Amino acid sequence: MDTTTDDNDIKQNRTVRVKNPHLLKNTVDHLYHISLSNTSDDLENRFGDVKFVCFGGTPSRMSKFTQFISSELGVKYYGDVGSPTNITGSTDRYAIYKAGPVLAVSHGIGIPSLSIVLQEVVKLVHYAKCQDVEFFRIGTSGGLGVEPGTVVVTEKVVNGALEPFHHSIVLGKSVKRPAVVDKEFAKEIYQFADISDKFQTVLGTTLCADDFYEGQGRIDGAFCEHDHDDKLNWLKHVHSQGVCNIEMESLGFITMCHRANVKGAVLCVTLLDRFKGDMVTMDHKFLTAVQKYPQIIVARYIKNAYHLLLKKG
């Protein structure tokens, strides 16, 4: 089943689109994995001011990002408390933090984990009647032909077969959906890289793999049926097609943003050059530092956009 839609559809008005007629029949919707409800949690009052939703792998990383963005924007944490509060406190599957108009959400590893929380966050901003909301994935990746610590702003995303589609099985049938990157949005964010940065920022193609080991051509997993030359030949091939980093979430993220009529962007820092090895060997101090690089770019964009919103009143 091919569910390709018109690329121009993403450029229409930015009301969040929930394409499920069954929700109209349900008066109560429990967002189970983030411990919220559309009837008992006053979502519009609590979250109606949200304009930016930032996703990252772990709760600790997103808590630190919330501290960073709160300082950058000069806004208070949710609940007007002294530190970020996990809004999903009664569940330990995901974490959501809020500072002013920004939500920070942990998504775990891989598309299956990300898709669950992304579906529920899309419903959350829909029920909260958020307008012109923008989504960002801020994460880590393996690089191809770029120095470790490089930030890649995704302008195209492909699967392991180098197709710009996300494949899934629904009711026993194969479903193919387009992963349509909003290239103008990606370029707009890219403009917030600065020549004085300690790191390089590039626009490029991201390959989204199904897993960390075999799906990314690694030879250091518990199982491997290819050799070093096979790996290098594959890496050279995908690099020749424009791929400059590999991770495990972007395809699902971009596909779902497109379906929801939400601007979505992916920025990932590279932790190694896969041409030189499979293992991440950065020391902890450097690893902690580089994980903040894509956050810096996104924070600059959000700060500029937020100030423009304040001027408009």
Quick one: what percent of the chain has pLDDT higher than 90?
83
Is 93 known to sit in a ligand binding site?
yes
Using CA atoms of 292, 293, 294, 296 in order, give the dihedral in degrees to the nearest 10.
80
Q: What is the pLDDT of residue 118?
A: 98
| pLDDT above 80 for 212 | yes
Q: Is residue 157 included in any domain, yes or no?
A: yes
Q: What is the pLDDT of residue 13?
A: 52
Is 138 known to sit in a ligand binding site?
yes
Instruction: Note the pLDDT tens digit of each residue in 5-43.
Output: 444 444 445 778 888 999 888 788 899 999 999 988 899
Q: What is the pLDDT of residue 1?
A: 52
How many domains would you assign to the chain?
1
pLDDT-derived band of residue 215, with 50, 70 and 90 as boundaries?
very high
| pLDDT above 60 for 167 | yes
Beta-carbon count within 10 A of 42 CB: 12
Q: Is residue 204 included in any domain, yes or no?
A: yes
Task: Please state, in angstroms and rounded to a whole number, the distance separating the CA atoms of residues 271 and 206.
Answer: 14
| pLDDT above 50 for 61 | yes
Q: Is residue 249 included in any domain, yes or no?
A: yes
Is 137 known to sit in a ligand binding site?
yes
Q: Is residue 1 included in any domain, yes or no?
A: no
Q: What is the pLDDT of residue 207?
A: 99
| pLDDT above 90 for 126 | yes
Q: Is residue 6 included in any domain, yes or no?
A: no
Q: What is the pLDDT of residue 6?
A: 43
Q: What is the pLDDT of residue 23?
A: 87
Task: Please state, in angstroms and rounded to a whole number, the distance separating the CA atoms of residues 73 and 307.
Answer: 9
Is 216 known to sit in a ligand binding site?
yes
Q: Is residue 7 included in any domain, yes or no?
A: no
Higher pLDDT, 313 or 215: 215
Instruction: Note the pLDDT tens digit of each residue in 247-305.
Output: 999 999 999 999 999 999 999 999 999 999 999 988 899 999 999 999 999 999 999 99
CATH number of the domain encompassing residue 129: 3.40.50.1580
Q: Is residue 2 included in any domain, yes or no?
A: no
Q: Is residue 3 included in any domain, yes or no?
A: no
Higher pLDDT, 109 or 78: 109
| pLDDT above 70 for 172 | yes
| Enclosing domain of residue 27 | 13-312
